[in-house]
């Protein structure tokens, strides 16, 4: 079932999901998994990566994950690991749009929802002279008005009860002819990265080119079915080994986390931590890669659920 064709507006889909807040998490997750993947969810003996992510949502609770899922609070965690130097410059964090002094900001900056994900939770200003401030304020007000006491649409508990805020960061210059700001997303298991997404040629709010690499930076013959495959040749960063060392440090406290980095002109910059990549509702071709990725995901304990 292609639910996105039936309900084209993402905002409408989210509103519908929020009205279903009363449905228990386990039931809702099973429903969503079937609708989005076409498969029944096996929680008693999960083997796939996407199945284990659903188990992770339901049964693993570490308060540190809540801190690290917040785009502002994670900064303190990164500093505590001795990695403060990879943090992008932050101009401030705000609980009200009215408190933002736009006049004090540089000509270029990035606005983000501290609990948001995807292109709908980021606004880029490349030139204050032409920037649509009124539209940006309306969008930010929508972020802040999200009731986090209600359940997350993907039932990702790390966002439950947390306050949405606005974080403003430095805009990172990039060259469109070289793929723009290339995103390196490392899939880490108990401190060991195993694979990574490399995303280039991204246009905000649209599908970008996504390639799946191993940790030797070799492009695999695997695609994610909801994304456009990476067509551009992305060369291995000269300091790739340093990136590996960094994600090992950031990820070692968790059974699984995806650590996102940028590497602009040799400068490694932290992006974010994601515990439930795509909420675990994506599909790979070949399908076997779901099992391959899942084989590295050692669930913290086993019970029958």
What tens digit of pLDDT does each residue of 20-52 get?
778 899 999 999 999 999 999 999 999 999 999
Compute the residue count for the chain.
305
- Do 134 and 186 fall into the same domain? no
- Do 63 and 141 fall into the same domain? no
CA 23, CA 43: separation in Å to the nearest integer? 18
- Do 6 and 132 fall into the same domain? no
- Give the residue among 61, 65, 57, 227 at the shortest CA–CA distance from 154: 57
Please provide the average confidence, as pLDDT, over all residues in the chain. Answer: 91
pLDDT, residue 103, reads 96
Is 96 buried (19+), middle (13-18) or exposed (0-12) by CB count in 10 A?
exposed
- Do 13 and 62 fall into the same domain? no
- Residue identified by tokens 């949405």 is 164
* Dihedral angle sign, alpha carbons of residues 146, 148, 151, 152: positive
pLDDT, residue 237, reads 97
Pairing of strands 228-229, 209-214: parallel
- Do 64 and 189 fall into the same domain? yes
pLDDT, residue 120, reads 79
Task: Locate 247 and state its tokens.
Answer: 């994600």
Instruction: With a cut of 80, say whether residue 136 has pLDDT above it.
Output: yes
Does a structural domain hold residue 254?
yes
Eight-class DSSP state of 219: B
pLDDT, residue 302, reads 55
Overall domain count for the chain: 3
Does a structural domain hold residue 304?
no
* pTM, rounded to two decimals: 0.92
Does a structural domain hold residue 305?
no
Instruction: With a cut of 80, say whether residue 204 has pLDDT above it.
Output: no
- Do 216 and 237 fall into the same domain? yes
- Do 52 and 179 fall into the same domain? yes
- Do 187 and 73 fall into the same domain? yes
Here the CATH number for the domain that contains residue 131 is 3.30.1490
- Do 72 and 181 fall into the same domain? yes
Does an H or E element contain 292, and which? helix 288-295
Of 171, 204, 220, which residue sits at a domain end? 171
* pLDDT tens by residue, 155-203: 999 999 899 999 999 999 988 888 889 999 999 999 999 999 999 998 7
| Structural domain that includes position 99 | 89-171
């Amino acid at each position: 079932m292609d639910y996105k064709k039936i309900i084209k507006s993402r905002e409408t889909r989210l509103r519908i999901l929020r009205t279903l807040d009363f449905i228990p998490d386990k039931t809702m997750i099973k429903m969503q998994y079937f609708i989005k993947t076409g498969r029944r969810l096996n929680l008693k003996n999960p083997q796939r990566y996407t199945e284990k992510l659903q188990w992770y949502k339901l049964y693993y609770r570490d308060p540190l994950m809540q801190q690290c899922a917040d785009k502002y609070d994670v900064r303190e965690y990164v500093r505590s690991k001795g990695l403060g130097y990879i943090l992008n410059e932050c101009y401030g964090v705000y609980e009200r749009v009215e408190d933002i002094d736009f006049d004090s900001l540089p000509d270029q900056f990035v606005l983000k929802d501290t609990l948001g994900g995807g292109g709908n939770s980021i606004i880029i200003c490349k030139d204050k002279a032409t920037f649509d401030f009124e539209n940006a304020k309306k969008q930010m007000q929508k972020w802040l008005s999200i009731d986090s006491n209600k359940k997350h649409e993907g039932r990702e508990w790390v966002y439950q009860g947390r306050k949405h805020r606005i974080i403003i960061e430095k805009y990172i210059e990039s060259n469109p002819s070289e793929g723009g700001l290339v995103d390196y997303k490392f899939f880490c298991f108990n401190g060991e990265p195993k694979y990574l997404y490399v995303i280039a040629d991204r246009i905000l709010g649209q599908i970008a080119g996504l390639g799946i690499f191993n940790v030797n930076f070799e492009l695999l013959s695997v695609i994610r079915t909801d994304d456009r495959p990476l067509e551009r040749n992305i060369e291995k960063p000269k300091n790739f080994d340093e990136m590996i060392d960094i994600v090992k440090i950031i990820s070692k406290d968790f059974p699984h986390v995806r650590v996102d980095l940028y590497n602009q002109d040799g400068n490694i910059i932290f992006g974010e931590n994601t515990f439930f990549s795509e909420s675990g509702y994506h599909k790979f071709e070949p399908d076997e890669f779901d099992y391959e990725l899942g084989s590295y995901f050692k669930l913290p304990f086993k019970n029958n659920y």
